[in-house]
Amino acid sequence: MANNDTKIGAALTAATCGLLGIAPSTSVASDAAPAWDVDSAFLYYGESDGRVQDLSLSAHATRDFGDERTLGLDVSVDSLTGASPNGAIASDGPQTFTSPSGRKTYDTPAGDIPLDESFLDTRFAVNGNWSQPLARLYTISAGLGFSSEYDYQHIGANVGLTRDFNQRNTTLSFALAYANDTIKPVGGLPLPLAQMGDAVGEDQSPANRAGDSDSKNVLDVLLGVTQVLGRHSVLRVNLSYSDSSGYLTDPYKILSVVDPVTGEPIARTPAPGTSGPVNVYLFENRPDSRRKEALYAELRHDFSGKVLQVGYRYSTDDWDVDSHTLESRLRLPFGESSYLEPHVRYYQQTAASFYRYSLANLAPAPEFASADARLSDMSAVTVGLKYGRETAGGNEWNARLEFYQQKAKAPGEFLIGNQVGNTQMPDFNAVILQFGYHFKL
Amino acid sequence: MGGPCEVLVETEHEHEARQVAEAVCAAAARIESKYSRYLPDNIVARINSGMGAPTTVDDETANLLDFAAQVHQLSEGLFDITSGVLRRAWTFDGSGRVPRPEDIAALLPMVGWSKARWVRPTLTLLPGMQIDFGGIAKEYAVDQAAQAAASVSASAVLVNFGGDLAVTRARHGDQAWRVGIEGIDAHEGAAARLVDLSAGALATSGDTYRYIKSGGHRLPHILDPRSGWPVSDAPRTVTVAAPSCTQAGTLSTLAMLKGAGAEAFLESEGVRFWIQRDPAGS
């Protein structure tokens, strides 16, 4: 029997050199450590006129465990400051509002769109996702997410299944997501379409509030097809359905009540010894369910290294908000390891059926009403440019600068008296600056 | 080469990639046609049809025979390029057909490198004896192809002939090539282990699909040329990392032949290895 302890290595190396006619080189092999692949980013988002500013730090990390099993983790921290429109219309006179807490007031000069300055928030979010093959051609994924703000908690779960067909040139995917969000507004939940009251002391409850918190549930269903079209093109088409139910109202948004003839705000007088609004404002109220359907189509084409991506999204919902989004990116590699990527996006939507610029005094009260510009007839344009550069170690730096412009208009049928030809919508511009670093750990 | 062949080139230049692919294909095609035992008129066929007469061989074939002779001696007869004759009795097709002992005994006189007369450049076999470079030709082809690739390109190249592979250098930015070792029970394309390879080669012996079922046991297709019977307690697969694919393949083949001693053998050789065995009791 052969002696297992006899080392043959040196003699074998010599024999191999004799055969291959080359000096022995080295072998460097090791078990692959499952490595983290991290996309990190620092983002600044700033709206014009001192409105919302967001500083955000985020990281998306994936770890490959081999055998197509991957773990994805997302962490982000956002710090939001600035002012946001409260929904009231601009007026010829100065306006006073009670802050969301119900304990202070703030003023808006004559002619200005009223902004709530008390907007300040820190948001923390984490998401985890696991993906693995289920059987030949099938991949399953599942994830959990959580985010927290001082007045808002979100918890969500999702599952997805993909199936490859046609020699993996066609992929069908199906995904389900469910979320439960809890909102606990500062100062409590306003009663629907109740009047904004005077500021109250620390020992008193703000007027017209109905409890501390409420919740909403969101179910999302997605059905998608990805089709490889030849060597250079990929087409993706998604159909999605989203069902939200529960508290969908923005507790901080109000509407101005106006004279049904002139369209000017109706004045009121704060109670003696208190400060409070000098006009009549009602808290908004939205339906407690929203069903949305969307179609998304995206084509990517590789023009010998230059990759063009064009996407279109159509969305419609039972609030009558129909939207069209057209978006395109073009990746232009240059030099040894750099690229430029211009980006354009156009968005347009119709107003929600209950959107109002203001509410007429003495008219029958609508069941639902909101003056939130995000539910108005509006459009937005984004143009941007991204620059990326790969380092020698295979990592990548990138920087992105984008400009965003949003324009809304109040549909004519909602305008009253002097408002016609005199509307002021809370339009704004924003700048987005992002620095990203992609690396492996 | 009995399995999918691929060559990976880390370059942005199509011209360079084509040059490398052509060099690799040329090397592979040349060695396959020269040493395949399935082709009727190559050097292997001429040796095997010698009927006891001496055959004079070219330099490259002589180098391979020298190598086979040395490994035969180093392994004390475990590694033997004349053992292919035993396949007349053993058919590893997953069926339950086990040969009778007398069938094996009848073949053994035609098996054994020590019965051949090798005086470079002339080989003389006993009548009925055959040689087969199947145990080393593929690994040798990988090394030759990797050399050919390195001679036409400074870029990092990985040559993979059916799971036996070699790299010419680490990838851009000193990154290793990441290689999956196929699992014994995994579904198609699944890797049981991932190995980072910056230099050298990997070779795997053993085969997931070739076996005989006998009395509920799975007899592996690895035959001990000294007894003519399958090696007992052989691993299902043995993967070895070594400076060259030829070395890696020789060590992995020898480890299979060591049966239960595979791990101990490779540990004493001080090489990196990955062994997969059937779960106990199956």
What pLDDT was estimated at residue B2?
56
Lowest mean pLDDT among A56-70, B57-71, B195-209: B195-209
Assigned domain for B164 exists: no
What pLDDT was estimated at residue B93?
64
What pLDDT was estimated at residue B28?
92
Q: How does residue A325 score in pLDDT terms, banded at 50, 70 and 90?
A: very high
**Set of chain A residues whose Cβ sits within 8 Å of the Cβ of B187:** 133, 135-136
Average pLDDT, chain B: 86
Let me know: does A320 contact A351? Beta carbons within 8 Å. yes
**Set of chain B residues whose Cβ sits within 8 Å of the Cβ of A68:** 190
- The packing angle between helices A9-20 and B245-257, to 10°, is 140
Spatial separation of the C-alpha atoms in residues B223 and B88, rounded to whole Å: 12
Tokens of B260: 């239960």
The answer on pLDDT for A55 being more than 90 is: yes
Interface contact A335, partner B, CB < 8 A: no
Q: Name the strand (E) or helix (H) holding A236.
A: strand A233-246
Running DSSP on this structure, what letter comes out for residue A188? -
Chain A: closest CA distance from residue B174 (Å):
7
What pLDDT was estimated at residue A166?
87
Residues B143 and B5 grouped into a single domain: yes
Residues B5 and B145 grouped into a single domain: yes
Residues B80 and B202 grouped into a single domain: no
Q: How does residue A5 score in pLDDT terms, banded at 50, 70 and 90?
A: very low
More confident of the two residues A394 and A217: A217
Lowest mean pLDDT among A9-23, A24-38, B186-200, B243-257: B186-200
**In angstroms, what CA-CA distances link B34 with A62, B30, B39, B44, B80?**
47, 6, 8, 8, 20
Domain count, chain B: 3
Interface of B with A in 234-253 (CB under 8 A): 241-244, 246-248, 250-251
**Set of chain B residues whose Cβ sits within 8 Å of the Cβ of A33:** 196
Interface contact A11, partner B, CB < 8 A: yes
Let me know: does B242 contact B201? Beta carbons within 8 Å. yes
Half-sphere exposure of A302 (CA within 13 A, CB side): 10
Residue B88, judged by CB atoms within 10 A of its CB (0-12, 13-18, 19+), counts as middle
Interface contact A18, partner B, CB < 8 A: yes
Tell me the mean pLDDT in the region A77-94: 92
- Selecting from A16, A68, A393 the residue whose C-beta is nearest the C-beta of B247 gives A16
pLDDT, tens digit, for every residue of A388-426?
A: 998 877 789 999 999 999 999 887 788 888 888 778 888
More confident of the two residues A262 and B218: A262
Give ipTM to 2 decimals: 0.85
Does the beta-carbon distance from A29 to B246 stay under 8 Å? no
What pLDDT was estimated at residue B185?
62
**Set of chain A residues whose Cβ sits within 8 Å of the Cβ of B137:** none
pLDDT, tens digit, for every residue of A296-312?
A: 999 999 998 899 999 99
Residues B15 and B149 grouped into a single domain: yes
Spatial separation of the C-alpha atoms in residues B202 and B210, rounded to whole Å: 21
- Selecting from B143, B241, B265 the residue whose C-beta is nearest the C-beta of A4 gives B265
pLDDT, tens digit, for every residue of B134-179?
A: 888 999 999 999 999 999 999 999 999 988 999 999 988 788 898 8
Residue numbers of the domain that contains B112: 44-131
Interface contact A203, partner B, CB < 8 A: no
Q: How does residue A2 score in pLDDT terms, banded at 50, 70 and 90?
A: very low
Beta carbons within 8 Å of A212's beta carbon, 6+ residues apart: A184, A188, A189
Chain B: closest CA distance from residue A22 (Å):
9
Residues B27 and B110 grouped into a single domain: no
Q: Count contacts between A and B (CB, < 8 Å).
A: 135
Interface contact A109, partner B, CB < 8 A: no
Q: What is the CATH number of the domain that holds B48?
A: 1.10.3980.10
**Set of chain B residues whose Cβ sits within 8 Å of the Cβ of A136:** 187-188
Q: Name the strand (E) or helix (H) holding A18.
A: helix A9-20
What pLDDT was estimated at residue A3?
43
Smallest CA-to-CA distance from A214 within A152, A157, A290 is with A152
Interface contact B178, partner A, CB < 8 A: yes
Q: What is the CATH number of the domain that holds B250?
A: 3.10.520.10
**Set of chain A residues whose Cβ sits within 8 Å of the Cβ of B190:** 67-68, 133
Beta bridge partners of A55: A44, A79
Residue A365, judged by CB atoms within 10 A of its CB (0-12, 13-18, 19+), counts as exposed
Spatial separation of the C-alpha atoms in residues B157 and B16, rounded to whole Å: 11
Interface contact A5, partner B, CB < 8 A: yes
pTM greater than 0.80 (yes/no): no
What pLDDT was estimated at residue B173?
77
Spatial separation of the C-alpha atoms in residues B194 and B198, rounded to whole Å: 13
Residues B85 and B144 grouped into a single domain: no
Residue of chain B whose alpha carbon sits nearest to that of A391:
B173
Chain B: closest CA distance from residue A2 (Å):
6
**Set of chain A residues whose Cβ sits within 8 Å of the Cβ of B244:** 16, 20, 24-25
Residues B53 and B140 grouped into a single domain: no
Interface of B with A in 96-135 (CB under 8 A): none
Residues B127 and B260 grouped into a single domain: no
The answer on pLDDT for A184 being more than 70 is: yes
Query: For chain B, what percent of residues have pLDDT higher than 90?
Result: 52
**Set of chain A residues whose Cβ sits within 8 Å of the Cβ of B186:** 67
Lowest mean pLDDT among B106-115, B143-152, B177-186: B177-186
Strands (DSSP E) along A304-370, which ranges?
A: 306-317, 323-334, 338-349, 359-360
Tokens of A104: 């202070």
Interface contact B29, partner A, CB < 8 A: no
Beta carbons within 8 Å of A299's beta carbon, 6+ residues apart: A233, A234, A235, A236, A309, A310, A311
Residues B33 and B153 grouped into a single domain: yes
Interface contact A10, partner B, CB < 8 A: no
Tell me the mean pLDDT in the region A111-135: 90
Q: How does residue B95 score in pLDDT terms, banded at 50, 70 and 90?
A: low
**Set of chain B residues whose Cβ sits within 8 Å of the Cβ of A22:** 147
Spatial separation of the C-alpha atoms in residues A12 and B67, rounded to whole Å: 9
The answer on pLDDT for A58 being more than 80 is: yes
Structurally, at CATH architecture level, domain A32-440 sits in Beta Barrel (2.40)
The answer on pLDDT for A65 being more than 90 is: no
Does the beta-carbon distance from A394 to B172 stay under 8 Å? yes
**Set of chain A residues whose Cβ sits within 8 Å of the Cβ of B241:** 27, 29
Chain A: closest CA distance from residue B52 (Å):
26
- Selecting from A3, A27, A393 the residue whose C-beta is nearest the C-beta of B199 gives A27
Lowest mean pLDDT among A4-8, A216-220, B240-244: A4-8
More confident of the two residues A1 and A393: A393
Residues B122 and B148 grouped into a single domain: no
Chain B: closest CA distance from residue A15 (Å):
6
What pLDDT was estimated at residue B168?
94
**Set of chain A residues whose Cβ sits within 8 Å of the Cβ of B71:** 12, 15
**Set of chain A residues whose Cβ sits within 8 Å of the Cβ of B271:** 9, 27
Residue of chain B whose alpha carbon sits nearest to that of A64:
B194
Cis peptide, bond prior to residue B121, ω within 30 of zero: yes
What pLDDT was estimated at residue B217?
55
More confident of the two residues B149 and A203: B149
What pLDDT was estimated at residue B100?
85
Residues B51 and B6 grouped into a single domain: no
Lowest mean pLDDT among A203-217, A343-357, A377-391, B185-199: B185-199
pLDDT, tens digit, for every residue of B58-93?
A: 999 999 999 999 999 999 999 999 998 888 888 766
The answer on pLDDT for A120 being more than 90 is: no
The answer on pLDDT for A436 being more than 80 is: yes
Residues B147 and B224 grouped into a single domain: no
Q: How does residue B213 score in pLDDT terms, banded at 50, 70 and 90?
A: low
Does the beta-carbon distance from B202 to A29 stay under 8 Å? yes
Q: How does residue B191 score in pLDDT terms, banded at 50, 70 and 90?
A: low
Chain A: closest CA distance from residue B97 (Å):
28
